[in-house]
Chain A
């Protein structure tokens, strides 16, 4: 079947089978920032925005996304770089394989949580984003500094 989505601001149409995951659909569309880390919706690496909210693209069928607005990191380069610079300054990207999914969720989070969100609220929001390199501490430091720079609570 033909599936049409709005991908990073532009209409995009491609062939998909009924069981094509949005994850595969997006990678085939050239959005290589979307990573596959598991098959069980358990790692957060494939996080993208569907109509502005975070979804796991492994848990959405391409057919279900038809007609919706999908944003990947390819479409949020400036925002990714802005927060990413804070992450990089903490060394919190390490191997970087989980970074796109994690950052997509951080960018969704800042639309939902206040800048003075507690560490616990932040951890809770991002609990589904696994990282095996960093032990998460540097990511929290980066988020706190980013939020502080955006005018929220100081770190």
Chain B
């Protein structure tokens, strides 16, 4: 194929690498009010009194808003399809503050300096309440995070704010207890994962203004422009018809920007003052009051035959929503579905969840969305099963992995339609030279070289929920405009959708002008999340191009005055085969712009009843220093089945980047709170994401299956790739030391202490 499966350069690459002003913060108009948020120093308190007299006297301060000024409509900032599973549990500003950093007042001033100065002069009297900081004690605690009567869950997710429950769920296939009772080998393990910050390089940023039609217009770094439109309408109590959201280039999202973290505040200021308003989070705010991965405690019970055949899996996830429930009920769902379903010989499986509120930072969506936590738990348990039975962890997986054609154990009743996990495992073993390296080798300097393995799966969009749409138009001279509603956040979807369109229309990519996203102009798309863009919106491109080809054929036939079934289209012309009769695409374009023709434009949307999982195997080789406990990455091999690879470069870079985020989660990234609930790791100095010194060497290979329901056979890749590092590295540490870690991150002091204890 000319474009699909090629390593095409991103269509926006050169503007990015030459530093053009294409991000939200680069476009803020003059005369814009700078907004600052006065945040609570307390994890749990009631705002009793706010005195703004002194602050209002600061030159340049235009307005200060408190909880008394905002609409009393509870809403969620979760960017999800309506009705959102996330409860409506927040106000723009609330009398009750539920975590350190919860907004108390908004300051709008002519300059950032004036806003900051005024912020320091606002006097707030709090009634400080005892915070609920330990999420494992949240359910039925006497401290209630959301005691309010107007708390509202739109969907039956099992929320009960009078019990601190954001959601609960129960799913069982077969009789797990009976099956476990029959199994000669039963393992029970409890795993702990922390909140992780996405740490995208561009912090949350939004500016807003009233446009020439007096409509509220937002320019924002968001993954979900259409959802933001609805969220703003809910929060501000205004009509969606009066809101427009524009997404320029985005400096990374990874799920953080699937919540409207920064949007409502400047929008509120603009509606109140009529002035443009801008809110740019500091890194500290992005770290301490963003929308991180849910902290979880995952309990796994695994039953197996003596030969290693896994017969039962029972997974229970306790998830910490923190102060607000964004993505709470849904992230936890992936803990079980995306881990249990990797295994194909289960007689029974059960998955139960509880998502609880606490007075810590509200969580949200982060790449992997619960699957990451679940796969750490289940894959680690499988590794421990292998160790207990004296089996190679690769061998136990080859024996148990789900095969193409099987129904998944716990995956919405869906069948495994495309899957090369077995090939991924073989290729990974070969690339890693596993048989030689497993389990470990002690080097002359006393360091231990060991290897570890894990598998992973994810979804491709949300079955029956996600919608992607594109509009494609033929213009004069025969070039196309491709309007997309999905959001390129650096991942390259503008590029791969253009690749697909060029392939479908037999044209050069340069002949297609791609544009996204402006909710007034782009066709509806739920946004870029849930690994949906390639699979869902890609299919919308295929459908739209097919329909446009039909229209081009009709127009060409009409122009030649021949029946449409006698003509063909080769991308440049419509012609009657075997004759001289032809009309160029350019000419068709011109004709469609004048009275004798029809303007050729197609809008197609796509939704899928299934969410075919991409699959992968990750293998790691580490160098462990038993003296210091330091673990260094030597080599990481990732073999991925994402169906057809649409862009070799971008799929590879997605994989490499996801792995390094997973490595950070496993070894470095450690959110900690003081006893009063203040986050200690709210900067890049304290919250250490991997630098290029820690990333090691990463090698990526693809073992493509062909997914019939995907565009050109493609599935997703974006989220899948973050999932294997935690279980694989923990497995390698076990193979080096004999110590199985159950809590993340695993830091040098943990390893060193564990080795010391083992000696004693």
C-alpha gap A92/B653 in the complex (Å) = 7
B7 at the interface (CB under 8 A from A): yes
Determine which of B198, B201, B693 lies in contact with A127 in the assembled complex, contact meaning CB atoms within 8 Å.
B693
- Among residues of B, the one whose C-beta sits closest to the C-beta of A84 is B17
Binds A, one of B142-150, B372-380, B644-652: B644-652
Using Cβ atoms and an 8 Å threshold, which residues of chain A touch B199? 132
Asked if residues B19 and A32 are in contact (CB atoms below 8 Å), the reply is yes
Q: State how many angstroms separate the Cβ of A108 from the closest Cβ of chain B.
A: 15
A95 at the interface (CB under 8 A from B): yes
In chain B between 465 and 516, which residues have their CB closer than 8 angstroms to a CB of chain A? 489-492
Asked if residues B692 and A94 are in contact (CB atoms below 8 Å), the reply is no
Using Cβ atoms and an 8 Å threshold, which residues of chain A touch B10? 88, 91, 93
Using Cβ atoms and an 8 Å threshold, which residues of chain B touch A92? 653
B388 at the interface (CB under 8 A from A): no
C-alpha gap A93/B693 in the complex (Å) = 18
Using Cβ atoms and an 8 Å threshold, which residues of chain B touch A22? none
- What per-residue 1/0 map shows which CB atoms of A124-142 lie under 8 Å from chain B? 1011111111111111100
Asked if residues A91 and B649 are in contact (CB atoms below 8 Å), the reply is yes
Asked if residues A136 and B19 are in contact (CB atoms below 8 Å), the reply is no
Using Cβ atoms and an 8 Å threshold, which residues of chain A touch B21? 32-33
Using Cβ atoms and an 8 Å threshold, which residues of chain A touch B13? 84, 87-88, 93, 96
Asked if residues B684 and A43 are in contact (CB atoms below 8 Å), the reply is yes
Q: State how many angstroms separate the Cβ of A59 from the closest Cβ of chain B.
A: 13
> A132-B199, A132-B252 given as contacts; is B284 within 8 A of A96 (CB)?
no
Using Cβ atoms and an 8 Å threshold, which residues of chain B touch A93? 10, 13, 16-17
- Size of the A side of the interface (Cβ < 8 Å), in residues, is 53
Binds B, one of A62-70, A74-82, A109-117: A74-82
- Among residues of A, the one whose C-beta sits closest to the C-beta of B23 is A97
Interface centre among B198, B283, B491, B692 (most CB of A within 10 A): B692
In chain B between 1 and 20, which residues have their CB closer than 8 angstroms to a CB of chain A? 7, 9-10, 12-20
Binds A, one of B86-94, B432-440, B551-559, B655-663: B655-663
Asked if residues A84 and B692 are in contact (CB atoms below 8 Å), the reply is no
A42 at the interface (CB under 8 A from B): yes
- Size of the B side of the interface (Cβ < 8 Å), in residues, is 57
Interface centre among A33, A37, A80 (most CB of B within 10 A): A37
Asked if residues B18 and A81 are in contact (CB atoms below 8 Å), the reply is yes
B212 at the interface (CB under 8 A from A): no
- Chain B interface helix/strand/loop/mixed: loop
Asked if residues B653 and A133 are in contact (CB atoms below 8 Å), the reply is yes
Using Cβ atoms and an 8 Å threshold, which residues of chain B touch A73? 18-19
Determine which of B113, B251, B282, B689 lies in contact with A96 in the assembled complex, contact meaning CB atoms within 8 Å.
B251
B110 at the interface (CB under 8 A from A): no
C-alpha gap A83/B650 in the complex (Å) = 18
B250 at the interface (CB under 8 A from A): yes
- Among residues of A, the one whose C-beta sits closest to the C-beta of B653 is A91
C-alpha gap A127/B691 in the complex (Å) = 6
Q: State how many angstroms separate the Cβ of A120 from the closest Cβ of chain B.
A: 9
- Among residues of B, the one whose C-beta sits closest to the C-beta of A73 is B19
Asked if residues B18 and A132 are in contact (CB atoms below 8 Å), the reply is no
Asked if residues A90 and B653 are in contact (CB atoms below 8 Å), the reply is yes
C-alpha gap A35/B200 in the complex (Å) = 13
Asked if residues B19 and A33 are in contact (CB atoms below 8 Å), the reply is yes
- Among residues of B, the one whose C-beta sits closest to the C-beta of A137 is B656
B709 at the interface (CB under 8 A from A): no
Using Cβ atoms and an 8 Å threshold, which residues of chain B touch A84? 13-14, 16-18
Q: State how many angstroms separate the Cβ of B474 from the closest Cβ of chain A.
A: 29
Asked if residues A135 and B660 are in contact (CB atoms below 8 Å), the reply is yes
Using Cβ atoms and an 8 Å threshold, which residues of chain A touch B426? none
- Among residues of A, the one whose C-beta sits closest to the C-beta of B663 is A135
A50 at the interface (CB under 8 A from B): no
Asked if residues A132 and B201 are in contact (CB atoms below 8 Å), the reply is yes
C-alpha gap A127/B26 in the complex (Å) = 26
Using Cβ atoms and an 8 Å threshold, which residues of chain B touch A23? none
B254 at the interface (CB under 8 A from A): yes
Asked if residues B689 and A130 are in contact (CB atoms below 8 Å), the reply is yes
C-alpha gap A130/B21 in the complex (Å) = 20
In chain B between 657 and 684, which residues have their CB closer than 8 angstroms to a CB of chain A? 657-661, 683-684
- What per-residue 1/0 map shows which CB atoms of A3-47 lie under 8 Å from chain B? 000000000000001000000000000001101111110110100
- What per-residue 1/0 map shows which CB atoms of B310-325 lie under 8 Å from chain A? 0000000000000000
Determine which of B9, B18, B23, B689 lies in contact with A89 in the assembled complex, contact meaning CB atoms within 8 Å.
B9
Using Cβ atoms and an 8 Å threshold, which residues of chain A touch B684? 37-38, 40, 42-43, 130
Asked if residues A38 and B650 are in contact (CB atoms below 8 Å), the reply is no
- Among residues of A, the one whose C-beta sits closest to the C-beta of B9 is A88
C-alpha gap A98/B698 in the complex (Å) = 21
Asked if residues B198 and A99 are in contact (CB atoms below 8 Å), the reply is no
Asked if residues B695 and A136 are in contact (CB atoms below 8 Å), the reply is yes
Asked if residues A40 and B283 are in contact (CB atoms below 8 Å), the reply is yes
Using Cβ atoms and an 8 Å threshold, which residues of chain B touch A95? 16, 200-202, 249-252, 489-491
Using Cβ atoms and an 8 Å threshold, which residues of chain B touch A89? 7, 9, 649
In chain B between 273 and 328, which residues have their CB closer than 8 angstroms to a CB of chain A? 282-284
Q: State how many angstroms separate the Cβ of B15 from the closest Cβ of chain A.
A: 8
Interface centre among B282, B284, B660 (most CB of A within 10 A): B660
> A90-B649, A133-B490 given as contacts; is B691 within 8 A of A80 (CB)?
no
A85 at the interface (CB under 8 A from B): yes
B368 at the interface (CB under 8 A from A): no
> A99-B19, A133-B653, A135-B658 given as contacts; is B201 within 8 A of A43 (CB)?
yes
C-alpha gap A37/B693 in the complex (Å) = 20
C-alpha gap A98/B692 in the complex (Å) = 13
C-alpha gap A96/B13 in the complex (Å) = 8
Asked if residues B17 and A39 are in contact (CB atoms below 8 Å), the reply is no
Asked if residues A135 and B656 are in contact (CB atoms below 8 Å), the reply is yes
In chain B between 579 and 637, which residues have their CB closer than 8 angstroms to a CB of chain A? none
B103 at the interface (CB under 8 A from A): no
Asked if residues A42 and B683 are in contact (CB atoms below 8 Å), the reply is yes
- Among residues of B, the one whose C-beta sits closest to the C-beta of A129 is B692
C-alpha gap A130/B690 in the complex (Å) = 8
> A124-B693, A130-B201, A131-B201 given as contacts; is B14 within 8 A of A97 (CB)?
no
A153 at the interface (CB under 8 A from B): no
- Among residues of A, the one whose C-beta sits closest to the C-beta of B21 is A32
Asked if residues B17 and A81 are in contact (CB atoms below 8 Å), the reply is yes
C-alpha gap A78/B254 in the complex (Å) = 31
Asked if residues B653 and A94 are in contact (CB atoms below 8 Å), the reply is yes
C-alpha gap A94/B283 in the complex (Å) = 20
Using Cβ atoms and an 8 Å threshold, which residues of chain B touch A45? 201
Using Cβ atoms and an 8 Å threshold, which residues of chain B touch A132? 198-201, 252, 254, 657, 661, 689
C-alpha gap A93/B19 in the complex (Å) = 11
Q: What are 29 inter-chain pairs, A to B, with CB distance below 8 A? A: A32-B19, A37-B283, A38-B684, A39-B683, A43-B283, A72-B19, A80-B18, A80-B19, A84-B17, A85-B17, A87-B13, A88-B9, A88-B10, A88-B14, A90-B649, A90-B653, A93-B17, A95-B252, A96-B17, A103-B19, A124-B693, A130-B691, A131-B692, A132-B689, A133-B657, A135-B656, A135-B657, A135-B661, A137-B653
What are the 6 closest A-B residue pairs judged by CB atoms, nearest first?
A95-B490, A33-B19, A84-B17, A96-B16, A97-B251, A91-B649
